Amino acid sequence: MLLAVSGNGINSDAEYLDVETVRIPVQVDQAGTSIYFAVSANDDVAIAAVRFCSTHLPGTDQKECAQQLVSQISIMKGLRDEAQQALPGISFVVRSPSGAELRFVHEEGANPAVEAQSFCRVHYESVPSGKCVEAMLKNMQRAFVEVQSADT
């Protein structure tokens, strides 16, 4: 059976499906073509996996294909949740479109993408949500690196 899933498949597109979406690339042919299998928090992962396998991998054992996708999504969600719980709380300042200083606060254990989405919705409504969230997550990453560098 040809089914390869790589763990680096979360992609930061300009627009997110939603902040709880998990996307993994799945190799669908011998040439190495990959198609993303994506599920949101509201999706039934098993049903989505069956649909994906029947559409993109019709020549494979459908039950095994779907089980592998469900397993990979479960692993990715677990890793994401684990990583979120390990993130310490942090805050940093950004500038609003009008030039005012705004403080972004990440609460320990919270989902930083959800926090960024809420922050962007309130303070950057004229900026496309996905671009704003991506920028806030990059700012957060830089702030974490600065904190870690200061601690060593």
Q: Can you give the pLDDT at residue 19?
A: 63
Ranges of the chain whose pLDDT falls below 70: 1-19, 152
Q: Can you give the pLDDT at residue 6?
A: 37
Residue 99 backbone zone (phi > 0: left; psi -120 to 50: alpha; other: beta): left
Q: Can you give the pLDDT at residue 86?
A: 75
Alpha-carbon distances of 74 from 3, 58, 92, 143, 152, rounded to whole Å: 16, 23, 32, 29, 35
Q: Can you give the pLDDT at residue 82?
A: 81
User: DSSP letters along 90-104, please?
Assistant: EEEEEE-TTS-EEEE
Helical residues (DSSP H) of the chain, grouped into ranges = 45-56, 62-86, 112-123, 129-151
Q: How far apart are CA 101 and CA 13, in angstroms?
A: 27
Burial degree of 85 (CB within 10 A; 0-12, 13-18, 19+): exposed
DSSP label at 9? -
CB proximity list for 6: less than 8 A, separation 6 or greater:
24, 25, 34
Q: Helices 62-86 & 45-56, crossing angle to 10 degrees?
A: 130
Q: Can you give the pLDDT at residue 13?
A: 40
Q: Can you give the pLDDT at residue 15?
A: 41
Q: Can you give the pLDDT at residue 60?
A: 94
Q: Decide: pTM greater than 0.85.
A: no
Residue for token pair 């957060």 = 140
